[in-house]
Structure 1
């Protein structure tokens, strides 16, 4: 199945959704509240519709689980071998703040594991992607890139990880660091010395680790499966890991409860 999926098609779908988001970004859009009181905008809805339409037209037969269309019973989805896991607008709060740190996330899950991931940041015009068997990559100025074949895109994309820090770097909130995150970073400090702190919105936090700009991202706060699947594919194909904070098992997907456990994202070779 995976070898029949052209990553370029998935990237184009993510970018099409990003264009829909940008059409709304500078308007006076309304903000609704979901059942869990998290924000929802027209951009979330239009991005969802664009992605679902694009995936169904190119990959008919692969089911889709999206944050904006998540009401599918576990009895139905537990039988899925492959499915798309989508967050049409990851970082709606960042979108509302207009700080640019929001993304479109599309992942392909196979038997509970993410084997392909695409993350597009519309304001930054950056694409991150990873696919089992080819690795992980970054494309700057994506709208200007010649996205034709998978072979051609791999010639111009930057292979990840693309750099390594001289000083250990962790992804965390500078202003709202939880006690658990602070304790974890202090543990890293005790082993490596000074630790610099980087901050980013949405799934860009996982991309920082995949890229090599950060060594570790501890997450001691709630996330859902669609928040992390694409990023996990990109991190893992760059040689990193995304693991449960206690068991150190790999994060898996399509659970009955779609809430993720607390987890730690680590670049290749990083052991705290």
Structure 2
């Protein structure tokens, strides 16, 4: 309680909390895009449940990692050396996560460009259960990668565990609220799916680059994502404006 009162009366602590919440929310966008795309592949009755489980796992994982900060910080120490460069466990995890993200995004892009029909997946609970379990496992893998990166970044911003916990709780709460609308928006707009998959490819390459020591400022990445999203938004407005004119069922206007 004394710690909370001390932090509540410290303007520096409030500034650190606000900055950390903003950072956690921004970093959570990557995770949320992946969860939305992945769960939209499931039968509709399972999607909301899979999203809740995926985001809850992200919360539990980040809170658990906060309890082992000493171990997390040690993950930045080199454990192996290849070609004259030292790699830490964090580097290895980021590289593996980036490769997984690129593989998954490439697979989804291929599926959208050249969709395959699987008659045996139309019915049958066994297939649905397997798909649900596979989705949860893949979400868990990416949760681990994003959580470790998020916690290590948070440690570099503040030493107060309480501030980190509050920031994680707020960020995951925002993710929980935004998950359903984002998933529905992505599903309703096929071009957004391809744009989001392109984002995942870029994020995967960024993770690999950081694993090899090439730091890419997050601001550049999210500025590019925001610009691409703005352009796609303008395209959507343009298509919506033309749709009534192109609709053959629309009654002609009398002059």
Which structure shows the higher strand fraction?
1
Higher relative contact order (CA 8 A, sep 6+): 2
TM-score, normalisation: structure 1? 0.27
TM-score, normalisation: structure 2? 0.29
